[in-house]
Amino acid sequence: MSFVKFYAPWCSHCIALQPVFEALADEYKSKMNFIEINCVKYEEFCLDKGIRSFPELRMYENGIKISEYEGPRDLTNLGRFIRGEKIGKPESRVLELTASNFSAVVDDETKNVVVKFYVPWCNICKSIQSKYERLIDIYKNEKDVIIAQMDCSEQQNKVICSGKFGIHGYPTITFFPKDFKYGKDFMYEHEVHVYVNRINKEFNYFRMENGQLNKYAGRIPKIDKLLQQISNTTQLKEVKEKIKQLDIHNNYMPILSKILTEGKGFVHERIESLKNKIQATTGEEQDKAIIEYNVLEQFK
C-alpha cells in the first residue's frame, strides 16, 4: 500500500503540506509507503495519471488507485484517513450567498462572479464541491473574481433561486460578468478543466488548471499580426509607430524600444532569464514574468 503526494515546487499549498506529510510518513511508515512525485520533473507521468491540480493525495495498492483524499490537510484528519476512519468535513472556502447579500456581491460591476446554486441533499452538488473549490486557488491572482455558492433549500433564498432565475435543477452554475449581470448558465460536464475554459472565456482570463497564466496572456492578436511583417530595422520602426497609433495599453512597446537600442540578441537572452524566473517565483511576480515571456516569444 502506498500513499502518494503529487506536487509542484511552486505550489504554495504543497509547500504548506510538506511538514504535515513528513510527520505523517514518520508516524505511519510501518503501515505503508509514502511517496512524493514532483509533477514538474515528471510532467508526462502526472498527466498520464490524470493529475490536474496540486497537491493531490492518493492511495494506491499494487499500482492501482483505490482512493483519493479530499479532506482537510492536517495531521489529525490525514491520520484518520490512513487508519481507515471517518475524516472531518473540510470547511468551505467558497463565499456563501444569501438573499440579503446576493445583490451586493453579484451586481457589483467591478467583479466577475461565479455562483453555484445547490441544495444539501443533491449528490452531484456534493461530489463536485472539491472541484469547485479548486477554482479559488486557480484564480487567486485575479483580484476581480468571486467564487460563490447559494443554498436554494433555504426559504429566504428561494426568491433568488427559483423566483429570479427560475432554477429548479441542481447544481446550476451561473456566470455573472462585470458587464452582464443577468447570468449565463453553465451546461457542460463538471470537470475542473471545463470550468476553467468557460471562466476564461466569460471573464477574459488566461489561466491554466495549475493557476499559471497560459501562452496567450499579455498578447494582443492585432499586434502579433503586425510583428509578422518585420524583417529589418526600418520595418521595426514602422511597426512601432503603428502600435503607438493603436493607443492601447500593451507590453510590446518597451521591448520594441529595447530591440532598437540593443539589438535582437536581447530577446533571446531575456527569454532564457525569464524561464528561470517563472520556475522560481509565484503569484503576481510569476504572472508578470509569464506575460513578458509570452510577448517576447513573438519577436523570435
Cα gap 129→143, rounded to integer Å: 22
> By C-alpha distance, which of 35, 38, 34, 65 is closest to 49?
65
Residue range 122-173, pLDDT digits in tens: 888 888 988 999 999 999 999 999 999 999 999 999 999 999 999 989 999 9
CB atoms within 10 A of CB 178: 15
Write the CB contacts of 156 (distance below 8 Å, at least 6 apart in sequence).
98, 99, 100
pLDDT tier at 1 (50, 70, 90 boundaries)? confident
Sheet holding 172-176, edge to edge: 95-97, 145-151, 112-118, 172-176, 184-185
The amino acid at residue 141 is: N
The single-letter DSSP state of residue 55 is S
> Angle at which helices 75-83 and 12-28 pack, to 10 degrees?
50
Cell (9 digits) for 68: 483519493
Cα gap 12→137, rounded to integer Å: 10
94 within 8 A of 136, measured Cβ to Cβ: yes
Q: Locate cell 503576481: which residue?
A: 284
What are the distances in angstroms from CA 60 to CA 32, 74, 88, 244? 10, 20, 22, 57
Largest CA distance in the chain: 72
Fold for 1-81, please state it.
Glutaredoxin (3.40.30)
Confidence at residue 71, expressed as pLDDT on a 0 to 100 scale: 80
DSSP string over 229-247? T--SHHHHHHHHHHHHHH-
Q: Is the link from the previous residue into 55 a cis peptide, with omega within 30 of 0?
A: yes
pLDDT tier at 6 (50, 70, 90 boundaries)? very high
Residue range 28-56, pLDDT digits in tens: 988 899 999 999 999 999 998 888 778 99
Question: Which residues are registered as beta bridge partners of 6?
Answer: 37, 56
- Count of residues in the chain: 300
Dihedral sign, Cα of residue 155, residue 161, residue 162, residue 167: negative
Cα gap 41→36, rounded to integer Å: 12
Confidence at residue 91, expressed as pLDDT on a 0 to 100 scale: 58
Class assignment of domain 93-201? alpha beta
Per-residue pLDDT, averaged over 241-266, amounts to: 87
149 within 8 A of 94, measured Cβ to Cβ: yes
The amino acid at residue 100 is: S
